[in-house]
Amino acid sequence: MLGAGKAAAAMAKTVEDHWTAPLSGLVVTRYGHGLPCRTVEVIEAGHPFPDGVGEEAARRMLRLTRDLTQDDLVLALFSGGGSALLTLPAPGLTLAQLLEANRQLLRSGVPIAQINCVRKHLSAIAGGRLGAACAPARVFTFLISDVPGDDPTAIASGPTVADPTTFADARAVIEQYHLRLPPAVRSHLDEGRHETPKPGDPRLARGEVLLLATPGQALEAAAERARAAGLVPMVLGADLQGEARELAASHAHLIRRVWHEQGRRKRADPVVLLSGGETTVTVKARGRGGRNTEYLLALALALRSAEKATPGIFALAADTDGIDGTEENAGAFLCPDSLSRAAAAGVDPETFLEANDSYGFFQRLGDLLVTGPTRTNVNDFRAVIVA
């Protein structure tokens, strides 16, 4: 068994609980997300910024594949977070250089698929390289999706599946977002040596992939619970992307339309708008927070002009892994009186948003959602009740 991600330990334990044949292996998860397993080693490492523990775990994982034969079976368990947790620099690069590249990618508003395109081409294990190293063994890859569209090549940067992207694609991302990467990283991308395994590579011929859980399934389950509670669910999609502030503005417009439509009907049931996906935040200041709290703060401001006219707006936005950004909260709550309570406390929402300090804003209000590690990861979850 080999695996990485925020759900990796929970996935490994589940396999152990149902597996009767001999089993060994190694999985890597984020600090605090581990679980005890009997025969599979669980290592905790750094996320979202990789560290030396994750680097050494990746080296060990590759070493475990050296003696595999066609009679061996590899269970590959991957979930969101695997890209950072399973970081092994390509030859000629260092972990410090990858860290700087990762910081720039995460702070520049780059969509996750493009981030992972670059990561694959800076890695000695991602983008199908681990799968190729497992040949000629049979490889079953089990995935929990945290990416829009549930693309197996993007989940954890696709360590065991063929990579359709190229060095040229990675260079295009760098140019598009005007990133100033360390010279060694840029040179590596420019040289374009040792391309990732592509579709049709014979080393990956004995691999199969199964999606275990997806953001869409999470929204379907939420819609079912909403109906049981007497709410009318509107599922907006499980793959919404873009800047968190821009999505909030778009949702505010939709919320007003829904509220005014309710006003035309007598005794209309409350509506809950459900959505998932992964937004981005272009960080321009030194505040704290993640994309979900930034979405909520921007939503509050977008609705402020209509707050008195639309008093029944309650919202939750959170990352399903329990960590929004780099803080300890999964997300936060927005209530009809959030801005009035902020005003009474002398907290200016616009100042906090400008500082990219959405965490600080909701912390001052006492409205952070703290769940602790959930040991799963099906991307972001947003629910807005219009009552």
Please indicate, yes or no, whether residues 125 and 82 belong to a single structural domain of this protein.
yes
- Whether the per-residue pLDDT at 360 is higher than 60: the answer is yes
Structure-token match 């475990």, residue found: 64
Give residue 287's pLDDT.
84
Give residue 286's pLDDT.
82
Average pLDDT over residues 66-77: 97
Where are the extended beta strands (E) located within the chain? 2-4, 25-30, 40-45, 73-79, 138-144, 207-213, 232-240, 271-277, 313-319, 331-334, 368-369, 380-386
Q: Which of 178, 196, 213 is the last residue of a domain?
A: 213
Please indicate, yes or no, whether residues 307 and 375 belong to a single structural domain of this protein.
yes
pLDDT band at 266 (very low <50, low <70, confident <90, very high): low
Give residue 227's pLDDT.
97
Please indicate, yes or no, whether residues 286 and 375 belong to a single structural domain of this protein.
yes
Please indicate, yes or no, whether residues 156 and 253 belong to a single structural domain of this protein.
no
Average pLDDT over residues 91-119: 92
CB 137 within 8 A of CB 66: no
Strand partners, 282: 108
- Whether the per-residue pLDDT at 84 is higher than 70: the answer is yes
CB 48 within 8 A of CB 112: no
Contacts of 349 (CB under 8 A, 6+ apart): 297, 300, 301, 339, 342, 361
Strand partners, 386: 271, 313
Instruction: State the pairing for strand pair 138-144/313-319.
Output: unpaired
Structure-token match 């502030």, residue found: 245
- Whether the per-residue pLDDT at 304 is higher than 90: the answer is no
Average pLDDT over residues 316-341: 94
Please indicate, yes or no, whether residues 260 and 366 belong to a single structural domain of this protein.
yes
Q: By C-alpha distance, which of 305, 309, 289, 301 is closest to 338?
A: 301
Please indicate, yes or no, whether residues 209 and 223 belong to a single structural domain of this protein.
no
Q: Work out whether the CA dihedral 96, 97, 100, 103 comes out positive or negative.
A: negative
Which has the minimum average pLDDT: 231-240, 281-290, 367-376?
Answer: 281-290
Average pLDDT over residues 253-281: 86
- Dist CA 166 CA 1 (whole Å): 28
Structural domain of 12: 2-213
Please indicate, yes or no, whether residues 171 and 300 belong to a single structural domain of this protein.
no
Give residue 171's pLDDT.
97
Which has the minimum average pLDDT: 25-34, 99-108, 360-369?
Answer: 99-108
Average pLDDT over residues 310-332: 91
Q: By C-alpha distance, which of 5, 4, 133, 127 is closest to 64?
A: 133
Return the CATH number at 97: 3.40.50.10180
Please indicate, yes or no, whether residues 357 and 256 belong to a single structural domain of this protein.
yes
**Residue type at 198 in one-letter notation:** K
- pLDDT tens for each residue of 211-221: 999 999 999 99
Please indicate, yes or no, whether residues 59 and 204 belong to a single structural domain of this protein.
yes
- pLDDT tens for each residue of 34-69: 999 999 999 999 998 899 999 999 999 999 999 999
CB 120 within 8 A of CB 126: yes
- End-to-end CA gap in the chain: 48
Give residue 51's pLDDT.
95
pLDDT band at 107 (very low <50, low <70, confident <90, very high): confident
- Whether the per-residue pLDDT at 303 is higher than 80: the answer is yes
CB 313 within 8 A of CB 184: no
Please indicate, yes or no, whether residues 126 and 194 belong to a single structural domain of this protein.
yes
DSSP 301: H
pLDDT band at 305 (very low <50, low <70, confident <90, very high): low
Give residue 312's pLDDT.
83
Using a pLDDT cut of 90, give the percent of the chain over it: 87
- Dist CA 26 CA 8 (whole Å): 10
- Dist CA 88 CA 383 (whole Å): 37
**Residue type at 307 in one-letter notation:** E
- Dist CA 383 CA 10 (whole Å): 26
pTM of the entire predicted model: 0.90
CB 87 within 8 A of CB 384: no
Q: Which of 149, 180, 213 is the last residue of a domain?
A: 213
Give residue 311's pLDDT.
66
Please indicate, yes or no, whether residues 42 and 170 belong to a single structural domain of this protein.
yes
Tell me the pLDDT of the chain averaged across its residues.
94
CA 121 vs CA 79, 101, 104, 243, 314: distances in Å: 19, 12, 16, 25, 42
Q: Which of 187, 213, 239 is the last residue of a domain?
A: 213
Average pLDDT over residues 111-137: 96
- Dist CA 11 CA 1 (whole Å): 10
- Dist CA 278 CA 261 (whole Å): 29
What is the number of structural domains in the chain?
Answer: 2
Average pLDDT over residues 214-233: 97
Please indicate, yes or no, whether residues 234 and 105 belong to a single structural domain of this protein.
no
Backbone angles phi, psi at 348, to 5 degrees: -95, 110
**Residue type at 145 in one-letter notation:** S
DSSP 73: E
User: Read out DSSP for 130-170?
Assistant: HHHHHTTSEEEEEEE--STT--TTTGGG-TTS-----HHHH
- Dist CA 151 CA 26 (whole Å): 24
Return the CATH number at 310: 3.40.1480.10
